């Protein structure tokens, strides 16, 4: 706590929006926050902040905050305010009734990647130890689950390899499927500083983003590909590197599996992966692919940054693997200035995955089928663990439609608004018998809920978030929970009511338990984080007591790096005569995800609606003028937006953001998903667009 003027004081905490994880001083008068000031000592942001973070406190005190637990036996009934005890006992009795009737696997839990590590850890423990199954998932499922898979199988760890600071040593920066200017603004500024110092920039994106062309930065190459063709482009880059012998044989021989390289080289050097063949698929000129490949491979230090434009595809995991292949082939792993760097969308995507919030992995990415791992957790938790992986989010919806999944505990996620194919989601929720929503607002998912438990905002929490560079940062409670209970306390109450005792005095004890059970966290504690200036990058253990800024130095986490073939098969969503355009999606600077928080702050001053970008030729063909209302129809549904005619998108591609519920972006996205992880193919939806009268 830093004391200031009369009645004023401040506490240092961490922004709860994006994966940059900026450190802030929350300045308060009494119990009210009056300002958020970026912390000059914050290692991820070094005194900088973006427009989202500066105004984030606004939603925490918004009049829409829900402060009382509520229940109703049918969703057509009005809500009834009840005590915490009644709400928890009702939930426990409903979950017990459902499990008695439909079996132990008929309930599950979701935890948002907005929640702290400690909260995420407790939810997966609740599901595994108290529910007795592995039906736990997190919204990382719908954003970066392909990162977890792709980096684990190639490099051995489901995480980015570098610090943000590392970009200042890059000579060539490759940005694939990401627009950090809007989605990770503070890191984008650092990247732009490096580019102004002379680093080269290659952008792979279907749209001309602010990263490609702006007053402050101009890409050297923009590979403006058709959405859904990432794998083809990554393969073509590899083709040029291998065929022109630009790869690093010494690095490969010393650091990678020889057989896997030989097999991959044979796979890549097929004619179908040549720039000329890929030009026909992707629309990117072959000479640009060649030039970009040479620039990356010839760099002293080449780094790759990627975002949801890589992962949210039917081949999301394949592209992540392809990116890791490129980095290994060119020796760009294991030192500063290089690496494979996923730009995580939410503040704690990395952390929620680290904490075992996936149905197949216990904390520390250890598979539930491994009996040694299970025995360790069973001894610590005093329970018997299920060796079978549980249901992923989309499988929960399917099981609900089959009548076998009937109860859901949902902490901090608005699945109705954020998951694809809204009609399918709402039909599944309507089929369930007890849905519990724990949130700060009565969100869209709460319309289908039987129990509402008021959540706490980031300003009311003690705990940690882990950002995109594996940095575990302290989140500090600057005001008491407005509803009287912290989210972690509510999870404990539910567990106790279900008969599995859970008792902690403070979130620091939860982190101590995490550290005792997770090899990459054994040196992590609130005390240690404070001693090291407010954050630590994992792995932090006996081998690395001060944390690990750069991973895979000298040796990959899996031992030898593994090349894996990346066969291109294209998007799940195909254009047809009925749906001839491809819709892709992204973000704007002032709003965050589905906008539940930013729409309740001053950020609405800058942006107040989602619009549909359409190329002038496609607009002309359909008689659409700038600002006209247009109907957008896909195989899943339809919605209406205002048109923005721009050459930022290419012919055949339309683009929108998804920050406002009335725009219904996810009414039109479909259930098509990544082959390995079920991450939705948000970035490719086949649509038709036509003018309509004002809705
Ligand atoms: Fe930093 Fe991201 Fe928060 Fe902006 S939204 S202040 S870049 S953490």
CA of 53 from ligand 1 middle (Å) equals: 5
- Structural element, H or E, at residue 108: strand 107-111
DSSP-assigned beta bridge partners for residue 451: 71, 436
Confidence of residue 227 (pLDDT cuts 50, 70, 90): very high
CA pair distance 540, 555, nearest whole angstrom? 17
What is the average pLDDT across 680-693? 93
Q: Per residue in 310-357, pLDDT tens?
A: 999 999 999 999 999 999 999 999 999 999 999 998 889 999 999 999
DSSP assignment, residue 649?
Answer: B
CA pair distance 571, 79, nearest whole angstrom? 43
Provide the 3-class DSSP secondary structure of residue 141. helix
What is the average pLDDT across 623-639? 94
Q: Per residue in 165-194, pLDDT tens?
A: 999 999 999 999 999 998 999 999 999 999
185 CA: nearest ligand 1 atom: 7
What's residue 605's pLDDT?
A: 64
Helix and strand element counts for the chain (H, E): 24, 29
Provide the 3-class DSSP secondary structure of residue 365. coil
Q: Which of 160-164, 294-298, 477-481 is the least confident region?
A: 477-481
What is the average pLDDT across 435-459? 96
What's residue 3's pLDDT?
A: 53
Phi first, then psi, for residue 225 (nearest 5°) are -85, 160
14 CA: nearest ligand 1 atom: 8
Provide the 3-class DSSP secondary structure of residue 174. strand
Residue 118 pLDDT > 80, yes or no? yes
DSSP assignment, residue 650?
Answer: P
DSSP assignment, residue 165?
Answer: G
**If you take atom 3 of ligand 1, which residue's CA is the nearest one?**
53
Confidence of residue 695 (pLDDT cuts 50, 70, 90): low
Confidence of residue 532 (pLDDT cuts 50, 70, 90): very high
184 CA: nearest ligand 1 atom: 7
What is the average pLDDT across 651-663? 85
Q: How far apart are the first and last CA of the chain?
A: 51
Percent of the chain with pLDDT over 70: 98
CA pair distance 574, 687, nearest whole angstrom? 10
CA of 163 from ligand 1 middle (Å) equals: 16
Cis-peptide, bond into residue 317, ω within 30° of zero: no
What is the average pLDDT across 283-288? 98
20 CA: nearest ligand 1 atom: 8
For domain 70-139+348-537, give its CATH number from 3.40.50.970, 3.40.50.740, 3.40.630.40, 3.30.1370.140.
3.40.50.740
For domain 145-342, give its CATH number from 3.40.228.10, 3.40.630.40, 3.90.1150.10, 1.25.40.80.
3.40.228.10
53 CA: nearest ligand 1 atom: 6
What does the block give as tokens for 535?
């954050």
Residue 2 pLDDT > 60, yes or no? no
User: Residue 248 burial by CB count (10 A; 0-12/13-18/19+): exposed, middle or buried?
Assistant: middle
- Tell me the domain boundaries of the chain: 70-139+348-537, 145-342, 581-691
ipTM of the complex: 0.99
**If you take atom 6 of ligand 1, which residue's CA is the nearest one?**
53
Phi first, then psi, for residue 289 (nearest 5°) are -65, -45
For ligand 1, pick from 42, 52, 344 the residue to mutate: most ligand atoms within 8 Å of CB. Answer: 52
Residues near ligand 1 (Cβ within 6 A): 15, 17-18, 20-22, 45, 49-50, 52-53, 184-186
Residue 446 pLDDT > 60, yes or no? yes
Please report, for residues 15, 235, 258, 381, 515, the alpha-carbon distance to residue 375 in angstroms, rounded to integers and kept in the order given. Answer: 37, 42, 35, 10, 17
Q: Per residue in 78-106, pLDDT tens?
A: 999 999 999 999 999 999 999 999 999 99
Residue 665 pLDDT > 80, yes or no? no
Q: Which residues have a Cβ under 8 Å from the Cβ of 641 and sit 6 or more positions away?
A: 610, 611, 612, 629, 630, 632, 656, 663
Q: Per residue in 375-418, pLDDT tens?
A: 999 999 999 999 999 999 999 999 999 999 999 999 998 999 88
Q: Which residues have a Cβ under 8 Å from the Cβ of 577 and sit 6 or more positions away?
A: none
Pairing of strands 107-111, 136-138: parallel
Q: Are 607 and 633 in contact (CB under 8 A)?
A: no
DSSP-assigned beta bridge partners for residue 129: none
Residue 670 pLDDT > 80, yes or no? yes
Length of the chain in residues, anyone?
695
CA of 212 from ligand 1 middle (Å) equals: 21
DSSP assignment, residue 414?
Answer: -
Q: Please check whether the domain covering 581-691 is classified as CATH 2.60.40.10.
A: no
Please report, for residues 13, 60, 184, 593, 604, the alpha-carbon distance to residue 599 in angstroms, rounded to integers and kept in the order given. Answer: 22, 12, 18, 10, 6
Residue 4 pLDDT > 70, yes or no? no
What is the average pLDDT across 248-270? 98
CA of 48 from ligand 1 middle (Å) equals: 9
Q: What is the DSSP string of 78-138?
A: PPEE--HHHHHHHHHHHHHHHHHHH-GGGEEEEE-TTS-HHHHHHHHHIIIIII-S--EEE
Q: Are 499 and 130 in contact (CB under 8 A)?
A: yes
What's residue 607's pLDDT?
A: 66
What does the block give as tokens for 166?
């590392």
CA pair distance 172, 181, nearest whole angstrom? 18
Place of tokens 């500024």: 189
What's residue 30's pLDDT?
A: 80
| Closest of 71, 101, 75 to residue 83, by C-alpha | 71
What's residue 648's pLDDT?
A: 95
| Closest of 153, 234, 161, 225 to residue 677, by C-alpha | 153
What does the block give as tokens for 38?
């970026």
Residue 57 pLDDT > 90, yes or no? no
Q: Per residue in 551-609, pLDDT tens?
A: 999 999 999 999 999 999 999 999 999 999 999 998 877 777 777 788 787 766 666 78
What's residue 450's pLDDT?
A: 98
CA of 485 from ligand 1 middle (Å) equals: 27
CA pair distance 420, 87, nearest whole angstrom? 30
Hey, how many other C-beta atoms are within 10 angstroms of the C-beta on 505?
7
What's residue 229's pLDDT?
A: 98
CA pair distance 305, 190, nearest whole angstrom? 13
Q: Per residue in 482-528, pLDDT tens?
A: 999 999 999 999 999 999 999 999 999 999 999 999 999 999 999 99
What's residue 587's pLDDT?
A: 84
């Amino acid at each position: 706590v830093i004391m200031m003027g009369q009645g004023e004081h401040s506490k240092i905490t961490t922004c709860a929006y994006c994966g940059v994880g900026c450190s802030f001083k929350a300045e308060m008068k009494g119990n009210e926050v009056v300002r958020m000031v970026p912390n000059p000592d914050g290692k991820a942001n070094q005194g900088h902040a973006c427009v989202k973070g500066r105004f984030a406190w606004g939603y925490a005190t918004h009049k829409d905050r829900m402060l009382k637990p509520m229940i109703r036996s049918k969703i057509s009934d009005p809500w009834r305010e009840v005590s915490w005890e009644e709400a928890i006992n009702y939930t426990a009795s409903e979950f017990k009734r459902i499990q008695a009737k439909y079996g132990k696997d008929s309930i599950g839990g979701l935890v948002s990647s907005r929640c702290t590590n400690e909260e995420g850890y407790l939810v997966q423990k609740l599901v595994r130890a108290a529910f007795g199954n592995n039906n736990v998932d997190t919204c990382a499922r719908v954003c970066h689950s392909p990162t977890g898979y792709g980096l684990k199988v190639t490099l051995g760890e489901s995480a980015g390899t570098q610090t943000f600071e590392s970009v200042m040593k890059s000579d060539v920066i490759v940005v694939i499927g990401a627009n950090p200017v809007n989605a990770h603004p503070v890191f984008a500024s650092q990247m732009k500083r490096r580019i102004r110092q002379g680093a080269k920039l290659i952008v792979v994106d279907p749209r001309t983003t602010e990263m490609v062309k702006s007053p402050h930065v101009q890409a050297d190459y923009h590979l403006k590909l058709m959405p859904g063709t990432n794998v083809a482009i990554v393969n073509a880059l590899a083709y040029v590197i291998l065929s022109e012998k630009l790869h690093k044989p010494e690095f490969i021989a010393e650091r990678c599996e020889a057989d896997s390289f030989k097999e991959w080289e044979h796979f890549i050097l097929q004619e179908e992966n040549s720039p000329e063949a890929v030009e026909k698929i992707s629309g990117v000129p072959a000479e640009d692919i060649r030039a970009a490949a040479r620039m990356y491979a010839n760099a002293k230090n080449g780094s790759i940054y990627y975002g949801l434009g890589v992962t949210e595809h039917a081949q999301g995991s394949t592209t992540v693997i392809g990116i890791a292949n490129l980095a290994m082939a060119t020796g760009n792993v294991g030192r500063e200035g290089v690496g494979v760097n996923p730009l995580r969308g939410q503040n704690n995507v990395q952390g929620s995955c680290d904490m075992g919030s996936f149905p197949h992995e216990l904390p520390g990415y250890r598979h539930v089928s491994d009996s040694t791992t299970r025995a360790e957790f069973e001894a610590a938790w005093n329970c018997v663990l299920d060796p079978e992986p549980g249901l992923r989010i989309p499988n929960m919806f399917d099981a609900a439609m089959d009548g076998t999944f009937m109860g859901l505990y949902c902490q901090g996620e608005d699945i109705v608004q954020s998951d694809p194919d809204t009609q399918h989601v709402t039909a599944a929720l309507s089929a369930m018998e007890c849905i519990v929503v724990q949130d700060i607002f009565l969100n869209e998912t709460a319309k289908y809920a039987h129990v509402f438990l008021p959540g706490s905002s980031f300003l009311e929490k003690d705990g940690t978030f882990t950002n995109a560079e594996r940095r575990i940062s302290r989140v500090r409670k600057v005001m008491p929970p407005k509803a009287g209970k912290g989210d972690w306390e509510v999870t404990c109450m539910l567990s106790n009511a279900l008969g599995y005792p859970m008792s902690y005095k403070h979130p620091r004890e939860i982190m101590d338990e995490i550290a005792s059970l997770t090899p990459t966290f054994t040196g992590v504690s609130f005390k240690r984080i404070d001693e090291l200036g407010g954050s630590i990058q994992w792995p932090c253990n006996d081998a690395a007591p001060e944390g690990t800024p750069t991973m895979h130095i000298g040796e990959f986490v899996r031992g030898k790096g593994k090349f894996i073939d990346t066969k291109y098969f294209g998007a799940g969503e195909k254009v047809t005569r009925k749906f001839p355009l491809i819709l892709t999606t992204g973000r704007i600077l002032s709003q965050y995800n589905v906008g539940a928080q930013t729409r309740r702050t001053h950020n609405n001053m800058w942006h107040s609606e989602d619009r549909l970008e359409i190329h002038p030729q496609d607009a002309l063909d359909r008689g659409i003028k700038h600002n006209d209302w247009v109907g957008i129809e896909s195989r899943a549904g339809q919605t209406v937006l205002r048109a923005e005619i721009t050459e930022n998108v290419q012919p055949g591609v339309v683009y929108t953001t998804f920050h406002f519920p009335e725009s219904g972006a996810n009414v039109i996205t479909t259930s098509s998903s990544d082959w390995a992880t079920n991450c939705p193919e948000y970035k490719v939806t086949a649509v038709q667009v036509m003018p309509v009268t004002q809705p």
